[in-house]
Amino acid sequence: MGNEKRGKGDLSSLVKNCIIIRTMKQGDIVYYIENREIRSAEVVKASRDFVTLRYRYKDPNSDPRETIYHYGGLRLRISKLFETKEEAEKTLKN
């Protein structure tokens, strides 16, 4: 009984292949990659695999002497988000 070979469903293979589930909550600041550029956004809503984000961007048509920001939103999979800017930078380097 103790010398049996273990198959695909044994505990050691589960530990090697486990997926880390990140929990995101409203108000968290996260980072994502868009066109090889790292952007930050605030979590508005998180549900299962998707997160709704609100991001801020500078108006390109505004007067350079004043800063006018606009807000946008998007939904991304949790797997596309990073908790720190450094994590996102490591992904870009690969």
CATH number for the domain that contains residue 34: 2.30.30
Read off the pLDDT of each residue in 14-38 and give the average, rounded to a whole number: 74
Q: Pick the more confident residue, 5 or 75.
A: 75
pLDDT at 19 (0 to 100):
46
Structural domain including 84 reads: 21-93
Which runs of E-coded beta strand occur in the chain? 29-34, 37-47, 50-58, 69-77
In a domain, 5, yes or no: no
pLDDT at 60 (0 to 100):
79
In a domain, 12, yes or no: no
Number of Cβ atoms within 10 Å of the Cβ of 24: 16
Query: Using CA atoms, how far apart are residues 69 and 30, in angstroms rounded to an integer?
Result: 19
In a domain, 4, yes or no: no
In a domain, 55, yes or no: yes
Torsion angle in degrees (nearest 10) through CA of 92, 81, 87, 35: 20
Q: Which of 44, 45, 28 has its CA nearest to residue 82?
A: 28
Question: How many domains in the chain?
Answer: 1
In a domain, 69, yes or no: yes
Q: With contact defined as beta carbons under 8 Å apart, do 41 and 71 qualify? A: no
pLDDT at 12 (0 to 100):
39
pLDDT at 22 (0 to 100):
63
pLDDT tens-digit map of 28-83: 999 999 999 999 999 999 888 899 999 998 887 888 788 788 899 999 999 999 99
In a domain, 15, yes or no: no
Tell me, yes or no, if the pTM score tops 0.85. no
DSSP structural state of residue 10: S
In a domain, 56, yes or no: yes
